[in-house]
Amino acid sequence: MAPDTDRRMDGLRRLATHLAELLQADLSLKLWTGEQLPLGPGASGDLCITIRTPAALTRLVRKPKFVTLIELLASGDLELEGGTLLDFAARRGTINTKGLWRRLDKRLAFRALAPFLFGSGQAHSSGTAYAGPIAEKVEQGRDDGALIRFHYDLSNEFYELFLDPEMVYTCAYFPDATTTLAQAQQAKLDMICRKLRLQEGERFLDIGCGWGGLVCHAAQHYGVKAHGVTLAQEQYAFAQAKIARLGIADRVTVELRDYRSLDSPESFDKIASIGMFEAVGIDNHHAYFSQMHWLLRPRGLYLHHSIARPAKRNMKNFRRQRPEYAALTRYIFPGGELDTVGMSINNLEAHGFEVHDVEAWREHYERTTRVWTENLYANRHKAAELVGWPKTRLWLLYLAGCSLSFQRSAVGIFQTLASKKTKGASGLPPTRADLYR
């Protein structure tokens, strides 16, 4: 080994020893040489942050940004070896990121990493980011179809690797600790139908119907005439085949159609929006809620199920994107934007709705995304055959990151029940005891 290489390796060893004293983590750093450097005194060595080449470290030192880290993880030049991000988070030690930065010996870190500034570390893209333009407003040319297809048209086979048999890709509802994902998704579909008080013969609309799980469940178990719309071709094909297989085409229809183009006022008794509102964009909220109000009959019920971020002191601060959020919209959900639960309620009331119930499901979604992560990790080799390793690695990070965000209350999710407001009685029972039977 050349003297310069020896010095670089010695510097990394000293830095790892310093980090181990700070982190006390049950993790190891694995170098391109195969050498493992423990990041805690009792590190077992089964979970390793693996640096495949010195060029990966060079890229990080030259451009120490979150997007660099994501690209390195997507390409496999940097790898979480032995488990998912959830496993690493559970064993990372007790110190948080800010605490680590304060206590870090920055001179030692600089001496260890500076030699890699001059290495060979040519940047390259994994090719997994959304490449098209993203306008904020529909009237400015926002193409929701392209944005939705980027996320959902990876292939139905890919989603089958981690979803339940009914392909429900929204927060499940776990009545108890023994409930499986499949059972929890059925419980969720039924809870939605009960909250909407679906009755036989009613006209029911599912905005962003996905693979058809809710419209089929509502028609089969509540006797409604259900209609769903989606912009994803793969979802549409799956839902059409499912409707035909179940023999319910007389009660369920699905269209490959933008919800804004639905043009029959007051044509639905009940409407559900389950996990699609996040794709609308804050600048399009007025048009969205106006359309929901226009489509719903007087005193018809609307269930608004969406992820929300905690509020900030002002909208400028709220809409400022943190690096991890920017990465999510670049690699996973282009055009996605979360509001606050308060913003949703304000919009509902401002657009002629009366709000009746708001229920938080944060911990249900933490568990849902955890199971999805475990399922995809178990099937990661099949996933790579379908969409490639870069996309598979990114999705494992995305699902695990979502689970950690819900676990840490960085985001929440709420089901809000509202009706199209008119004078007089709401028509709802005086209590909600029947919902939780």
pLDDT of amino acid 98: 72
Q: What string of DSSP letters covers 105-151? A: -HHHHHHHHGGGGGS-------S-S--S---SSGGGT--HHHHHHHH
Q: Please say if the pLDDT value at position 5 is more than 70.
A: no
pLDDT of amino acid 94: 74
Supply φ then ψ for residue 353, to 5 degrees.
-110, 150
The number of residues in the chain equals: 437
Please give the CATH superfamily to which domain 143-436 belongs: Vaccinia Virus protein VP39 (3.40.50.150)
Helix (DSSP H) and strand (DSSP E) numbers for the chain: 18, 11
pLDDT of amino acid 121: 66
Both tokens of 1, joined, read 């080994």
Is 368:399 a contact under the CB 8 Å cutoff? no
Task: Name the residues annotated as catalytic.
Answer: 402
pLDDT of amino acid 2: 56
pLDDT tens digits along 142-165: 999 999 999 999 999 999 999 999
First to last CA, the chain: 70
For residue 373, the SS3 value is helix
Q: Given the DSSP bridges, would you call strands 353-360 and 412-420 parallel, antiparallel or unpaired?
A: antiparallel
pTM for this structure? 0.95
Is 210:233 a contact under the CB 8 Å cutoff? no
pLDDT tens digits along 368-395: 999 999 999 999 999 999 999 999 999 9
Q: Indicate where the chain has its CATH 3.40.50.150 domain(s).
A: 143-436
Q: Please say if the pLDDT value at position 126 is more than 80.
A: no
Both tokens of 211, joined, read 């693979």
**Rg of the chain (C-alpha set):** 24
Cβ-proximal residues to 393 (8 Å cutoff; 6+ apart), any chain: 73, 74, 76, 79
Q: Please say if the pLDDT value at position 4 is more than 70.
A: no
Is 148:366 a contact under the CB 8 Å cutoff? no
Both tokens of 340, joined, read 């606050």
Q: What is the mean pLDDT of the chain?
A: 94
